[in-house]
Amino acid sequence: MKVQPSRKIWGIPVLLGLITLFGLLSALLGTGVWWVLAWGAMVIPLIVVMVKTRIWKAFQKG
Amino acid sequence: MSTLKNIKRWFWVHRWTSLICTLFLLLLCLTGLPLIFEEEIDHLLSKDAPYEVLPKDTPRANLDDMVKVAQQRYPKEALSFLFIDDEEPQVVVNMMPSLKGNPNTRHEMQFDARTGKLLKDEPSEAEQPQTFLGLMLSLHTDMFAGLAGELFLCLMGLLFVFSIISGIVLYGPFMKKLDFGTVRTGRSTRLKWLDLHNLIGIATAAWLLVVGITGVINELSTPLFGLWQITDVKKMLDQYKDRPLPKSQQLSSIQEAYNTAQKAVPGMTITSVIYPGNVFGTPYHFLIYTKGDKALTSRLFTPVLVDANTGKLDAVVNMPVYLKGLEVSRPLHFGDYGGMPLKVIWALFDILAIIVLISGVYLWVVRRKFYADYFLRLSSEENI
């Protein structure tokens, strides 16, 4: 495989970081719908880990 | 400096900062897990009768009456502080045999905030058996070593932060030829765990950094409050130094002090009243802590000083920036500020952190030949 450009290496990690920070702050600074947005944002990195580590598939198989 | 040398250097930082703090970080992650659900576990284990059901607009009982009941039970003891709960209808009166005595001699009396009835008279911390959550909290904050333990864990937290940063730096060169989330399962266990360590580490990096940094700040709370006391607080109290010290039997009404403070900061909620002579208070005042009602301002406390002799308002105190920072860093460490779903998310991140820590140790144990090969490969690439 060829050497990847930095943008490709860092794209998803930076995005996940920003999503996490958004979630952390939105629950702190707001209430109501901001809490729901925070939950929605912060499960994204968790889901990414589950999918990529295939824990997800193990769950589906039971 | 060549890239390889640079990477090696970061690698060294990552290895040693991680290795030194890992054992303690594991302890922090494991003890932190039940602490996320402290409130729920507390409720579950509690044998207390539920609060009497009363109409929502039932007026609150007079604080002076509650204090009187407490004083009648312990006429020789001193009042330490009142906790006025804003979530449950309770007022907790705290007394000590002596205000300068050992903190674990403090004991609580719980009153119904609406009826003023004494609900519970508990023995002091020193006389109570260690609870599970109390044990977790001690292990998590100071390992039973007081300030020394706090500062030690603060240092471990700092190493952890450096290990995260160096881990992020190393992620770049490591992923040069790999797609995000690649887990090479076919070749060797060690390769698989290296990929998992990198994937889980980078996906949780932002959370790890925030919880790590706010944890470090929290461990500094004792020195930060101490700093405040010997600077701003001392300066402020100097202007009252000619005042007679209030006598514990002749203090002005606590309920009136409460009302005066409430008038001084309308819209704020009073959460506690520190009695004069308490080591965390002032010699001359009722120190009344109030907090705001918005998501963020409910984390920020504004102390109000009421003269304990006359009951007159003396000052509304502005907290310094570093203590405001400390107050905001608390929820970001505890994860208790966004309902139950956020607590569950916090717990899941915590479990992932444990996996990153353990896999890191594993990778160090099986390191040698593996990294020799890795560096050899990097250097051959550099020479092309």
pLDDT score for B220: 97
A11 domain residue, yes or no: yes
Contact: A2, B207; criterion CB under 8 Å: no
B192 domain residue, yes or no: yes
pLDDT score for B276: 95
* pLDDT tens for each residue of B288-309: 999 998 888 999 999 999 999 9
- State how far the Cα of B125 lies from the Cα of A25, in Å rounded to an integer: 36
pLDDT score for A57: 64
Annotate A1-62 with three-state secondary structure: CCCCCHHHHHHHHHHHHHHHHHHHHHHHHCCCHHHHHHHHHHHHHHHHHHHHCCHHHHHHHC
pLDDT score for B45: 87
Helix%, strand%, coil% for chain B, nearest 5: 55, 10, 30
Q: Which residues contact B171 (CB under 8 A, 6 or more apart)?
A: A9, A13, B198, B201, B202
Mean pLDDT of B86-91: 93
The CA-atom distances, in angstroms, between B31 and each of B335, B349, B360 are 14, 14, 20
- State how far the Cα of B308 lies from the Cα of B305, in Å rounded to an integer: 9
- State how far the Cα of B341 lies from the Cα of B250, in Å rounded to an integer: 49
B367 domain residue, yes or no: yes
Residue A35 has pLDDT above 90, yes or no: yes
pLDDT score for B183: 92
Residue A40 belongs to what domain range? 6-61
Maximum distance among all Cα pairs of chain A, rounded to whole angstroms: 47
Interface predicted TM-score (ipTM) of this complex, two decimals:
0.93
More confident residue, B52 or B204: B204
- % residues pLDDT > 90 (chain B): 80
Q: Which residues of B touch A46 (CB under 8 A)?
A: 345, 348-349, 352
Q: Which residues of B touch A38 (CB under 8 A)?
A: 338, 342
Q: Which two tokens stand for residue B162?
A: 């450096």
In eight-state DSSP terms, residue B232 is I
**How many independent structural domains does chain A possess?**
1
* pLDDT tens for each residue of B33-67: 999 999 999 889 888 888 999 998 899 999 999 99
- State how far the Cα of A26 lies from the Cα of A39, in Å rounded to an integer: 9
Contact: B175, A54; criterion CB under 8 Å: no
B290 domain residue, yes or no: yes
Q: With bands split at pLDDT 50, 70 and 90, how would you rate the model's confidence at B3?
A: confident
pLDDT score for A44: 98
Q: Nearest CA to A46 among B349, B102, B266?
A: B349
Question: How far apart, in Å, do the first and last CA atoms of chain A sit?
Answer: 35
Cβ-in-10-Å burial (0-12, 13-18, 19+) of B4 comes to middle
**How many independent structural domains does chain B possess?**
2
Both B114 and B251 in one domain: the answer is yes
Both B253 and B123 in one domain: the answer is yes
Both B125 and B164 in one domain: the answer is no
pLDDT score for B365: 87
Q: Which residue of B has its CA nearest to A18?
A: B206
Residue A23 has pLDDT above 80, yes or no: yes
- State how far the Cα of B116 lies from the Cα of B79, in Å rounded to an integer: 17
Q: Which residues of A touch B171 (CB under 8 A)?
A: 9, 13
Cβ-Cβ pairs closer than 8 A, A with B, add up to: 99
* Cβ-nearest to B295 among A16, A31, A39: A31
The CA-atom distances, in angstroms, between B175 and each of A55, B44, B132, B149, B206 are 22, 46, 43, 38, 18
Both B113 and B250 in one domain: the answer is yes
B86 domain residue, yes or no: yes
Residue B1 has pLDDT above 80, yes or no: no
Mean pLDDT of B368-380: 76
B51 domain residue, yes or no: no
Global pTM reads 0.90
Q: Which residues of B touch A52 (CB under 8 A)?
A: 180-181, 183, 199, 203
* Residue B151, Ramachandran bin (φ over 0: left; ψ between -120 and 50: alpha; else beta): alpha
B361 domain residue, yes or no: yes
Contact: B204, A1; criterion CB under 8 Å: no
Annotate B84-105 with three-state secondary structure: ECCCCCEEEEEEECCCCCCHHH
Q: Nearest CA to B82 among B72, B71, B73?
A: B71
Judged by average pLDDT, the poorest of A49-53, B2-6, B64-68, B322-326 is B2-6
A50 domain residue, yes or no: yes
Residue A62 has pLDDT above 60, yes or no: no
Disruptive mutation site among B345, B351, B380 for chain A (greatest number of A CBs within 10 Å): B345
Q: Count CA atoms within 13 Å of residue B94 on its CB side.
A: 18
Mean pLDDT of B353-379: 85
B337 domain residue, yes or no: no
Contact: A10, B172; criterion CB under 8 Å: yes
* pLDDT tens for each residue of B112-166: 999 999 999 999 988 988 889 999 999 999 999 999 999 999 999 999 999 999 9
The CA-atom distances, in angstroms, between B193 and each of A1, B169, B384 are 21, 19, 29
Residue B235 has pLDDT above 70, yes or no: yes
* pLDDT tens for each residue of B249-275: 789 999 999 999 999 999 999 999 999
- State how far the Cα of B370 lies from the Cα of B112, in Å rounded to an integer: 65
pLDDT score for B2: 64
Backbone angles phi, psi at B79, to 5 degrees: -75, 130
A1 domain residue, yes or no: no
Residue B81 belongs to what domain range? 64-130+244-308
Residue B383 has pLDDT above 70, yes or no: no
B143 domain residue, yes or no: no
Contact: B181, A46; criterion CB under 8 Å: no
Q: Show which of B257, B281, B308 is a domain's final residue.
A: B308
Number of H helices, E strands in chain A: 3, 0
- Residue B147: CB atoms within 10 A of its CB come to 12
Q: Nearest CA to B119 among B91, B83, B94?
A: B91
Residue B384 has pLDDT above 60, yes or no: no
Say if residues B184 and B193 touch (Cβ distance below 8 Å): no
pLDDT score for A60: 61
- Residue A6: CB atoms within 10 A of its CB come to 10
